[in-house]
Structures are given as structure tokens and as C-alpha cells.
Structure 1
Amino acid sequence: MVFKLLVTDIDETLSRGECVSPEVSAACRRLHENGWSLMVATGRILATAISHIRGIEAFLPAIVYDGGRVMDPASGKPICETLMDTQLALEIVTAGWDHPVELQIIGDERAFCRRSDSMTRDFFLASGIPVDHSLTRPSVPHDVFRVIFHGSPVHIRTLQEHLKTLFHGRAGIVQAGEGFLDILPPGVSKGSALNSWLDTCPESPDIIVAAGDHHNDLELLAAAHIAVAPQDAAEDVLRVAKVIMPPADRHGFAVMAEWLLKWEVTRDEITGSVVL
């Protein structure tokens, strides 16, 4: 039996917002019926990704925390994970503390921030996720998976260059969406997490299709036989994508799914780029 694996980012790739559209859910059901296995690879924590996972019935282990954890969606337990060195996390928080951006420190299915980080606080509280918003000075909990800064794209780019100067070789520093900057332990990415999980599988997929839209998806797309991106993806992502689908607000993932079903794509079939 052919092992066909489709791995997808969530935000601005699979969907926009906190639920999967009926069009995308229906297309994913048809993929399952035709032998495709679905897997999510997201920067979200499991608790904020679970509705999307259920919406497309992606019951394989989920790559979450931008690759910092691979977790079982059914039990909520980690399969593998990489913590950030606590001292490094503290240095990163300190370096970004005074910049005009919001701060998120991500622990075990919970977040830490300052009272002034209102968008961060409100998002996690609305999602029912524990969030400690009492930070008044740079500090971190014992277990940290990553640090996130969120703000205007101009401020984020400035902070990215500053942190790259300070932490080159010590941390992964990558834009993870419009206005989001993720700081990860060295070597952590969605792509490395996928490869680590594949190493544990009894058989390798005959074909891997991966879909993503931003810089934190580049290593994931590189690990696939066929890379897919929405047409409003970051330029660096569009340059490596073999297949360009419509954006998430036009149910592009459903269009791509129907294309996969129609053409029964093989890993060697695409030689140029395809625009759907």
C-alpha cells in the first residue's frame, strides 16, 4: 500500500482564524478516503491547534511549537521535545524587553507575558490557555520551549537583526508570520521535527507533500518531495514552492487537495511550477 503523507502549516495555509472551513474539511475527508495521511506542523501550541487538527482529522502526531515538540493529539502527551536552555531564554527576553513589541514566553501548554502584552494575554485567555501576565522584569520559568515577539513588521525586522547579532549560532531566529518572530533552541524547526518523527516510522512515505506560507516553513518544505505554498506566501517561500495554491481565505487548501486527488501526483511528476 502506498504511504502518502501531507503535512501542513495551519495559519494562512490550511485556514485563517480559529476554525477550518467546511470546504477544507470536506476536501480532507476525500484525501483520507483516497489513502492520504494528514499531519499538522504549526507554530501553535497543541491546545490552540487541536480544533484545526480535529477539523481535518489529522490524527498523526502533531508538530507544534514550531518544531519544539511533537505531540499525540489524542492524549496530549509529548512524543519528543527540545527545551530551550533557561539562561539563554533569559538573555533573549532581556535583549527584547525594551523593544516596542509584545512578548510571549511559551512553556508547557501555557504562556507568560507582561500585563502590557494585551493581545497575547487576551488570545490565550480566550482560548482557555493558562497565561501568567505578571512579569514586571525579565524572567523565565524553568521549562521554556521558545520565546516569541509580536509587533509591527518594521519593529520585528529591527529586533530580528538585533537578536541575530547577539545570538548567532546559539538560537534559531525566524519570522513565523506577519509580525511574529520566533526564537527557538538551535537546530529546532518544523523540518527537523518531521525528519526525527520519520526516523521512528516503520516505513518511509512514498511521497511527502508539505504546505506552508512563511519563513518558519522553509525547512519543512525542503524535507518534502513536493512543496506547496499559497499565492500570498512570503517571497522566499514562493521561490521554493513547486505548487502555488489560492490563499486561505479562498479555501486554497481545498483546491490543492482536489488537485492531488485528480492527478494522483507522484514524487517525480512535477518538473516545473504549477499554479492552481
Structure 2
Amino acid sequence: MAMKLLVTDIDETLSRGESVSPEVERACARLRENGWSLMVATGRILATAISHIRGIGSSLPAIVYDGGRVMDPSSGKSLCETPMDPSLALEIVGAGWHHPVELQIIGDEKAYCRYSDVMTRDFFSASGVPVDDSMESPSSPATVYRVIFHGVPGCIRTLQHELKSRFSGRAEVVQAGEGFLDILPPGVSKGAALAAWIDTLPERPELVVAAGDHHNDLELLAAAHIAAAPEDAAGDVLKIARVIMPSADRHGFAALADWLLEWEGSRYEIASPVVLL
């Protein structure tokens, strides 16, 4: 039997916080019982995504690092990956160094930052992820997958414009959440990682549904047969969503799951967006 695949972003789509709600866990169990396979596609690293992966009962590889890596959650091994040239990462870090934003450099399940990047240090340390906060001037580790800047949305938009102009064609510059700016190697996205993973399967999925809420989910949603988004998603995401679910704090993913179970019994054409509010 061909696979029915539901691929989901984590933050503000599947959940809000560091765990999946019981309502969403139960809904995911109903999906699995009815033949659905579940997969995570997130900007998080594996260590900070693992509780969500287990919460939805996914046994599939996880798309992490915003598509920079596809990893096996059970072993922690990378199945495929696209690292960033450290010299490019150094340029990016230097370009954002004096902006009033926090900095993260993401290596192999490890974060690098400045001592002043308090939110970065506290988040990763609380998750048990190694953090090197000794950076005193722009630098890059030998192994790097992406650079992230975090701050007030207005500052992030200013930096995004500057970095897009400077690194056009050399890096992907995309907002990955409210106040988060991800800079990735060229061609890297959640959608590209999903397509590459599907190409390794003996048979393509019969149906692919993708859920996400921000600009780093656009390629993922475009690659799916059905795109879903929470009601508070970014405007560009809502424009392409065929199913609009309640927000994550209202357990909207559970509503999506129940709608899918009902919809697949009839497979009616989705002529206009379905609103599950």
C-alpha cells in the first residue's frame, strides 16, 4: 500500500513550546492507526526536536536544520546533509555582527554564540545542547550548517534586506519565525530535503500533506498535494494553504488530523480553502 505522508513543522504549527499537547498526541495516534506516516520538518536541531518527534510517534527520518540535514531520530545519524562553507559563514557572521540582534551558529548538534547572546545560551543549555559562548569577534567553526539571527522583528527585517542584497545567489536568507532569520547554504530548504528523501523511497507516497506557518515552510508546502497552515501563519503562507486550522495554542493540529481522516473517506476536490476554525 502506498504511503500517506503528513509532514509538519514544529513551532507554532504542531505545538507551542517544548512538548506536544495530549490532544495532538491522541490525534496523531488516530492518524497512525489509519495508515498515515508522520514526519517532522523543522528549523530545530535534532536534540531540541526529539521530544516532538516522539510525541507524534514518528519513526521516519526527521528534516532538521531547516532542511540542512535529514537525520535518523533513533540513532542520531545524519542520512544526508548540506553543510555551509565556513568562509561563507564567517562573512555572514561579520555582516550581522554589529546589528542589535542575537547570533547563533549551528554546528553538529552544537551552538556557538557570544556571551551576550543570553537567550541563545539559555535555550540550548536548558535542552542539554553544548554551547560555546566564547566568540569575541566574527568567526566560524569548521563544521557549520547555518547562521541564525534573532531579535526585534523590525531589526530582523532590516538585516534580512541587507543580507539578501549582499549574499544573493550565495546563500538562502529566510525568516523562520517571528524575529528569526535563517541563513542557509544555497538551495537548502525543507521542501528540497523532502524531495531528496522521497527520491530514495522504492515507491513515491500516494498523498503528501504538509503543514507549516512561516516563510521557511513555503517550499515544503508547495511540494505537497495539500498545504495546511494555522490561522495565525504568515500572510504568504496563508495565501497558498488549502486547509486553515486553529492556532497551535488551540491544538489546531488535532483539528487537521481529524479533518484528514474524514476527508480521505471521500477525497472530494478542495476547490477553495477549507477553514477548520
Shorter-chain TM-score tier? over 0.9
**Does residue 76 of the first structure (1) align with residue 72 of the second (2)?**
no
**Correspondence list, 1:185-204, <5 A:** 185-204=185-204
**Does residue 108 of the first structure (1) align with residue 105 of the second (2)?**
no
Aligned to 1:179: 179
| Displacement of 1:2 | 3.6
* 8 A Cα contact 2:2 2:203, kept in partner: no
Aligned to 2:40: 40
* 8 A Cα contact 1:225 1:267, kept in partner: no
Rounded Cα–Cα distance in structure 2 between residues aligned with 1:63 and 1:269: 29
- SS in structure 2 opposite 1:182? strand
* CA deviation vs aligned residue, 1:76-95 (integer Å, no higher than 9, x gap): 00000000011100000000
| Displacement of 1:268 | 7.0
* 8 A Cα contact 1:37 1:58, kept in partner: yes
Rounded Cα–Cα distance in structure 2 between residues aligned with 1:155 and 1:87: 25
* CA deviation vs aligned residue, 1:219-265 (integer Å, no higher than 9, x gap): 00000000000000000000000000000000000011011112216
* CA deviation vs aligned residue, 1:176-197 (integer Å, no higher than 9, x gap): 0000000000000000000000
Cα-Cα RMSD: 1.0
5+ residue gaps, structure 2, are none
Aligned to 2:233: 233
Rounded Cα–Cα distance in structure 2 between residues aligned with 1:266 and 1:39: 24
- SS in structure 2 opposite 1:37? strand
**Does residue 142 of the first structure (1) align with residue 149 of the second (2)?**
no
Rounded Cα–Cα distance in structure 1 between residues aligned with 2:91 and 2:192: 25
* 8 A Cα contact 1:62 1:73, kept in partner: yes
Check 1:161–1:53 CA distance in 2 against 1; reply closer, same or farther (3 A cut). same
Q: TM-score, normalised by structure 1?
A: 0.99
Alignment identity in percent?
A: 75
> After the TM superposition, which of the residue ranges 1-10 and 46-55 deviates more from structure 2?
1-10
**Correspondence list, 1:212-223, <5 A:** 212-223=212-223
* 8 A Cα contact 1:226 1:267, kept in partner: no
> After the TM superposition, which of the residue ranges 37-46 and 257-266 deviates more from structure 2?
257-266
* 8 A Cα contact 1:121 1:131, kept in partner: yes
Check 1:260–1:208 CA distance in 2 against 1; reply closer, same or farther (3 A cut). same
**Correspondence list, 1:60-139, <5 A:** 60-139=60-139
**Does residue 164 of the first structure (1) align with residue 176 of the second (2)?**
no
- SS in structure 2 opposite 1:14? coil
- SS in structure 2 opposite 1:103? strand
Rounded Cα–Cα distance in structure 2 between residues aligned with 1:187 and 1:268: 35
Amino acid at match of 2:143: D
Rounded Cα–Cα distance in structure 1 between residues aligned with 2:13 and 2:118: 26
Rounded Cα–Cα distance in structure 2 between residues aligned with 1:268 and 1:30: 21
Rounded Cα–Cα distance in structure 2 between residues aligned with 1:6 and 1:166: 36
- SS in structure 2 opposite 1:134? coil
* 8 A Cα contact 1:212 1:228, kept in partner: yes
Rounded Cα–Cα distance in structure 2 between residues aligned with 1:50 and 1:104: 20
- SS in structure 2 opposite 1:28? helix
5+ residue gaps, structure 1, are none
* 8 A Cα contact 2:101 2:151, kept in partner: yes
* 8 A Cα contact 2:68 2:188, kept in partner: yes
| Displacement of 1:269 | 2.4
Check 1:213–1:265 CA distance in 2 against 1; reply closer, same or farther (3 A cut). farther
Rounded Cα–Cα distance in structure 1 between residues aligned with 2:269 and 2:222: 17
* CA deviation vs aligned residue, 1:62-101 (integer Å, no higher than 9, x gap): 0000000000000000000000011100000000000000
| Displacement of 1:125 | 0.4
* 8 A Cα contact 1:207 1:266, kept in partner: no
* CA deviation vs aligned residue, 1:102-121 (integer Å, no higher than 9, x gap): 00000000000000000000
| Displacement of 1:166 | 0.7
- SS in structure 1 opposite 2:70? strand
